[in-house]
Each structure stands twice: as structure tokens, then as C-alpha cells.
Amino acid sequence: MYYTVQHITKFRYSAPITESIMEVRIQPRSEGQQHCLDFRLTTSPRTQILTYRDDLSNRVHHFDIPNSHSHLTITAEAIVEVLPPLPLPDELSASAWEELDALTANDEYWDMLKPSHFTQPSEIFYAFMRELDIQRRHDPLSALHEINHKLYASIEYAKKNTRVDSPIDDALRIRRGVCQDFAHIMITMVRSLQIPCRYVSGYLFARGNDPRAQSSAGATHAWVEALLPGLGWVGFDPTNDTLAGERHIRIAVGRDYSDVPPTHGIFRGKADSDLSVSVRVFPTEAPPLSAELSLEADWIPVMHTAYEPEENIHLQPQQQ
């Protein structure tokens, strides 16, 4: 399947600011069953954009706008080919747990086994684990399917209940959240079973007649990947109780959201800021890239703060 992705991020400031410094993680990855065939990134005001790959091979673009401006618009356009995932067995062998322990005996996967910023276990988390009776049994693949399904059945997908910086306890306490919360909770569970697990930032193509494809239109999506012996990294989407497949477009991977926010930066000046995000994903036979997007319909509500310091952190979008 070929997809066109349009992703527009817009910051508006209540007063002109003197400088913006930004990192952007929006370019889809090219590996395995996915290939980014074309990618274009522009900014307004215009500036020189540089790029590098981080230690997990995510493509990071960065730029500095040193002149006075009252808005910043980041426009990304991509064409991506996503092939169907390779078939998985129904279950792994009885020795798979031992094979997994041998695979993780050194420190190669340490970062994906230990708690990270948004995947900190707590008393509420451990009580939730006991309630769902999550433990090592059967084989690792079956355990992951079990976690994926039980999490989907136990947490309601609902927007505007958690924030971009919410710990997992917030969603566990009210049993509601968005894909970012689902992913962080599942990562914490999977790592507690000593299975390496990582966060995936990306897009989900949701068919109009598919009510199960839960992801906010106009936002990025998040799911997880777990390492399995003989299979490598396998994607699970607990928000939708499914495996990551041909409709999942991967942008970046990390320990949790803090490693892979679509935008991350600071600005210099005394101003309030508003953030809007517009995302469209459609098959290539859909309208061309030149089709105009409406940002006004996709404003993300944020807390307004009068910034006194000269340097301020740019707002970050929650993955929904």
C-alpha cells in the first residue's frame, strides 16, 4: 500500500519572539516492510534545515530561526510504501522464554528493558498487573497478545483526560486515555516480564468505515514493538487490540514518548504560544499534496502561561 502523508504543525505567539530553535522527528523510517519514497520539509519563516540520524536511526531535522517572528509553521509531506507484515506463528516454542533470556543476557537491550521517563512502575501499576493477572506463562508471543487484548478491554479510549506529560498513573487511575497512554502502560507491563519493548511514534491510516481504528484524525499515533526470539521487533497496537500492520506508518522509535516527540524546541521572547496540528494520511489515489489543509479546525487546547524567562519550551502535541 502506498500512502501520502501531510503533517502541518503551527505555533502562534501572542507577541513577536526573537528566535526559535527546533528539532523535528516527522520523516517516516525506511526499513523492513516500510520505505519512505519521498519526503519534503519546509518552514515559514524559511530557514536552513539540517538533519542527522540519532542512535536508533531515527531521522531528526533541526533548525534555528534567529529573526523576529510571530508564528512558525512546519510542513512535512511524504510518500510511503508499507508492505503487509510478515506472517507470525500462532505461538512460540516452549523454550522461547529461555531463548529470550539468553538474547537479553548482555546489555544490548538494556534501554528497552529498564523503566524510562514515562514508564515508571508504581503501586497503581502493580495493582493493575495483578488485576489483569499478567505474568510469564505459555510463551512470549502469547503473553504479548494477552497484554494487548486485556489492556484494550480495560482502558477506555478517550481524549482530553490526560496530557502530553502525564505519567501512566493518570490513565490507570481513571481507566481512560489516548494511544500515548496505552503505549506507555503496555511498555511498562512488557518490560516487567523482561521482554525488551520500545515506543513507536507514527501514523495510522483509519478507514472511514472502521470504528475500531481508534486514533484522533489530525494527530499522530503511537504503539509498541517487542523483541521476540527468531522474529525480531514485532509491533502491537493496544489502542486497537491489533498487531501493527499495513496501515501503521512508523516515524521513530525510542524508550518512550520523551525520545521521539514530533517537535521539540525552545523559543526566546516574552509571549504566550498556541499550538495546532493537522495530519492527513490517505492512499496515493486520494487528492494530491497540493490540496489545502485547514488548520483552524484542529486547534489543540493548551494551558496559556505568561512566560517571563527569555527562553521558553515549545509546546508538544500529545499522540492520540
Give the pLDDT confidence of 151-195 residue by residue, as tens digits: 999 999 999 899 999 999 999 999 999 999 999 999 999 999 999
Residues composing the chain:
320
pLDDT of residue 225: 98
Helix axes 140-154, 96-103, angle to 10 degrees: 90
Give the pLDDT confidence of 78-135 residue by residue, as tens digits: 999 999 999 999 999 989 999 999 999 999 999 999 999 999 999 999 999 999 999 9
pLDDT of residue 272: 92
pLDDT of residue 294: 42
Residue 302: pLDDT above 80?
Answer: no
Average pLDDT over residues 255-260: 97
Surface-to-core class of residue 60, CB atoms within 10 Å of its CB (0-12 exposed, 13-18 middle, 19+ buried): middle
Please tell me the least confidently modeled range out of 164-173, 239-248, 303-312.
303-312
If one looks up domain 96-259 in CATH, what number appears? Answer: 3.10.620.30
Contact present, 212 and 310 (Cβ < 8 Å): no
If one looks up domain 2-82+261-313 in CATH, what number appears? Answer: 2.60.40.2250
Domain residue limits, the chain:
2-82+261-313, 96-259
d(CA 95, CA 164): 39
Residue 239: pLDDT above 60?
Answer: yes
Reduced to 3 states (helix: H, G, I; strand: E, B; else coil), residue 249 is strand
Express as a percent the part of the chain with pLDDT over 90: 83
pLDDT of residue 191: 98
Task: Give buried/exposed letters for 244-270 (b at 16+ CB in 10 A, else e).
Answer: beebbbbbbbbbbbbbbbbbbbebebb
